Structure 1
Amino acid sequence: MADINYEIVETVAVLSENNKGWKKELNVISWNNRAPKYDLRDWAPEHEKMGKGVTLSKEELIQLKEILNKMEL
């Protein structure tokens, strides 16, 4: 498997943390030197490992926000 490089440009929010120190974070990340996107996934304490996640463009994040605002939670 090819190496994946990333740069966390901005940490927007930490949504939760489990008992092993992994945190579910919303970050702005540049993957493989591409334009940064919004990214939601679990991270190990020092960002040395990551779980599966979802990467969204700004337009997709805006659309998701509109959908969530309409939901009864």
Structure 2
Amino acid sequence: MEKITFEIRKHLGVLKEQKNGWRKELNLVSWNDAPPKYDIRDWDETHEKCSRGITLFDDEMKTLVNLVTEYSENLD
């Protein structure tokens, strides 16, 4: 089984910090030397270990932002 490689190209922010030190982060990450994608997942303090997460292409992230914005604007 090939080793999965990653490079965090840009740290965009922390969504939540856990008591155990792990943090749910939004980053631009290149997986296996591919072009970077938006990435949401939990990372340990050293960014050596991570949980399963979700990656999004630019168009998917724009759609997500639009959906959340639209939803937020329609809250009572």
Give me the TM-score of the superposition, normalised by structure 2: 0.91
CA distance in 1, matches of 2:49, 2:2: 15
Q: How many residues align?
A: 73
Q: 4+ residue stretches of structure 1 with deviation over 3 A?
A: none
Aligned to 1:40: 40
- Amino acid of the structure 2 residue aligned with 1:17: E
Alignment RMSD (CA, Å): 1.0
Aligned to 2:13: 13
Give me the TM-score of the superposition, normalised by structure 1: 0.94
Structure 1: 5+ residue stretches without partners: none
- Amino acid of the structure 2 residue aligned with 1:61: M
Greater fraction strand: 1
Identity %: 44
- Amino acid of the structure 2 residue aligned with 1:21: G
Structure 2: 5+ residue stretches without partners: none
Note the alpha carbon deviations across 1:18-52, whole angstroms, 9 max, x for none: 11100000000010001010000000110111001
Alignment of 1:1-73 (within 5 A): 1-72=1-72
1:2, CA displacement in angstroms? 2.2
